[in-house]
């Protein structure tokens, strides 16, 4: 997840990508996922973490997670 580590991410969800000068905003859930990704957690581990902390079922959490991961990949933020 070296690409994620090169991003400048503020505590309130503002993301700056120095390589391209692009900026993004994300929400609390997005930040939660990005931080777990930076720790090297797998998709299943992240889903478990989400369902432990948040009021959500496995299936929905998984669906949303993979959609979010696709977006990160499309923006070239993950390998």
Partner 1 sequence: MDKKIYERPILRKVVEGIPNKFGSLKRLRPIESIDNVLIDNLIDQYGSPVFVLSEKTIRETYRTAYRAFSTRYPKVQFAWSYKTNYIDAVCRVFHQEGAWAEVVSGFEYEKALDNNIPGNKIIFNGPDKSEEDLARAINNKSLIHIDHFDELYAIIEMLDELKERPQVAIRVNMDTGIVPQWDRFGFNYESGEAWNAINRILTNGNIDLIGLHIHVGTYITLSKAYATAIQKLAVLATRIFERFQISIGYIDVGGGFASQNTLQGAYLPATDTTPSFDDYAHTITTAMTSASFPNNETPTLILETGRALIDDAGWLAGTVLANKRLADGHRAMVIDTGVNILFTAFWYDHEIYPVHETSFQSEPTTIYGPLCMNIDIIRKNIDFPLLNKGDRFVIKRVGAYTMTQWMQFITYRPNIVLIDEKGKTHVIRKQEDKEVFRRQEMIPEHLKVN
Which residues are at the interface with partner 1 (CB under 8 A)?
Answer: 15, 19-30, 32-33, 50, 53-56, 60-61, 64-65, 68, 71-72, 75-76
Minimum Å distance from CB 15 to partner 1?
8
- Closest residue by Cα to residue 28 from 63, 8, 53: 53
**11's tokens:** 């505590």
User: Least CB distance from residue 42 to partner 1, whole Å?
Assistant: 17
53 three-state secondary structure: helix
Whether 16 and 7 have beta carbons less than 8 Å apart is answered as yes
* Smallest distance from partner 1 to CB 51, Å: 9
């Amino acid at each position: 997840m070296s690409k994620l580590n090169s991003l400048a991410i503020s505590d309130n969800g503002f993301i700056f990508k120095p390589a391209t000068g692009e900026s993004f905003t994300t929400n609390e859930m997005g930040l939660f996922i990005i931080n777990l990704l930076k720790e090297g957690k797998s998709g299943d581990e992240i889903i478990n973490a989400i369902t432990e902390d948040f009021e959500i079922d496995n299936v929905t959490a998984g669906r949303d997670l993979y959609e979010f991961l696709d977006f990160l990949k499309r923006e070239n933020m993950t390998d």
